[in-house]
Amino acid sequence: MKLSADLKAFEARIGHTFSQPQILIRALTHSSFGSAHREDNQRLEFLGDRVLGLVMAEALLEADPEASEGALAPRFNTLVRKETCADVARDIGLGDVLRLGRSEMLSGGRRKLALLGDAMEAVIAAVHRDAGFEAARAMILRLWGQRINKVEDDARDAKTALQEWAQARGLSPPEYVETERSGPDHAPNFTIAARLETGEEARAQAGSKREAQQGAAKALLSKMGDGA
C-alpha cells in the first residue's frame, strides 16, 4: 500500500516512515468515517494513551530524581491530558489528514480538541505497533519537546492558583464572565474575563470556555505579580 502525498508529508512531520502504512491510515480514521469494513482508531487510541503515560512517567523520573510522587503527579497529568495531546496534534497538522465522516467534518471536527487528542494517541500507538516501543518513545519525546522541560510551571492549575491567591488575601473567589463569543457554532471562540472583587481583571480567548478561563486566570495572576 502506498501513502498519498499528504500522508507522506505527515510521516515527515512526525519523523517516522511506516513499514505498515495501513496502521497509520487506521490511526487517522475517526469512528464517523469507519464502517463494518473499515476499522477506526478507537482501539489504537486506548493503546496510545498507555504508551504515552509510560513514556512521560519515565521522562519525569529521569528529569527529577528527587521529586516526590506528589510533585510528579500534576506534571504527569499536564503532559498526558487531552489538551496537551491536541496542542501537539495541531503542531504537526494532524487535523489536516484526519479521515472524518461528512457530518463530523462539517461540524468542525478537524479542529475539535477531543478528536485531535484522541487521534494523537492513536498515532502514538500506530508507531508503537509499526516499529516498537523505542520508536514510539523517540517520537513522543521529540514532539513533546520543551513541554517536558517547562512542565513544572504549566502543571500549576491557574484557576486553583488564582482562587488560593485571592483567599490568602481575604478576597472572595474570582468570577469568570463570558464577554464575547465569535465564530460559527461548530467552531466557537470564547473571550472570558477573570475578575477580582477589587476590580482587577484579565481576559483570554480560546476555543472552549475551560481553556479561556484558565488563560484568563493565568493572565490575571501574572498581572498581579504572581504568575502561574
Give the model's pLDDT for residue 109. 81
Q: What is this structure's pTM? A: 0.73
State yes or no: pLDDT of 90 exceeds 70.
yes
Last residue of a domain, one of 97, 131, 154: 154
Give the model's pLDDT for residue 227. 46
Number of domains in the chain: 2
Give the model's pLDDT for residue 164. 86
- Candidates 40, 45, 104, 121; catalytic one: 121
Give the model's pLDDT for residue 128. 98
Nine-digit cell at 89? Answer: 496534534
Average pLDDT on 196-207 reads 93
**121 noted as active-site residue:** yes
Confidence grade of residue 228 (pLDDT, cut at 50, 70, 90) = very low
The CATH number of the domain holding residue 15 is 1.10.1520.10
Q: Which residues contact 177 (CB under 8 A, 6 or more apart)?
A: 192, 193, 195
- Candidates 40, 45, 49, 104; catalytic one: 49
Same domain for 148 and 168, yes or no, is no
Phi/psi at 218 (5° precision):
-65, -40
Same domain for 28 and 51, yes or no, is yes
State yes or no: pLDDT of 26 exceeds 60.
yes
Same domain for 206 and 148, yes or no, is no
The CATH number of the domain holding residue 195 is 3.30.160.20
State yes or no: pLDDT of 186 exceeds 60.
yes
Last residue of a domain, one of 154, 183, 207: 154
Phi/psi at 8 (5° precision):
-65, -40
**185 noted as active-site residue:** no
Q: Alpha carbon 168 to chain centroid distance?
A: 31
Give the model's pLDDT for residue 45. 97
Q: Which amino acid is at 113?
A: L
Within the chain, residue ranges assigned H as helices are 5-14, 21-27, 42-63, 69-80, 82-91, 102-106, 113-131, 133-144, 146-149, 151-154, 158-168, 209-223
| Percentage of the chain exceeding pLDDT 90 | 61
- pLDDT tens profile 141-171: 999 998 998 887 666 678 888 988 899 999 9
Give the model's pLDDT for residue 34. 62
Q: State how far the Cα of 119 lies from the Cα of 108, in Å rounded to an integer.
A: 15
| CA neighbor of 94 nearest in space, from 76, 78, 109 | 109
- pLDDT tens profile 28-79: 999 888 666 778 999 999 999 999 999 999 999 999 899 888 888 888 988 9
Same domain for 143 and 80, yes or no, is yes
Same domain for 73 and 85, yes or no, is yes
Last residue of a domain, one of 112, 133, 154: 154
Same domain for 134 and 162, yes or no, is no
The reply to whether 228 falls in a domain is: no
Same domain for 181 and 217, yes or no, is yes
Q: Which amino acid is at 162?
A: L
- Measured CA distances, 91 to 9, 53, 95, 145, 205 (Å): 14, 20, 10, 12, 19
* The residue count for the chain: 228
| CA neighbor of 40 nearest in space, from 136, 124, 119, 131 | 119
Burial 152-177 (b: 16+ CB within 10 A, else e): eebbbbbbebbbebbeeeeeeebebe
Q: 83 is in which domain, residue-wise?
A: 5-154
Average pLDDT on 101-127 reads 91
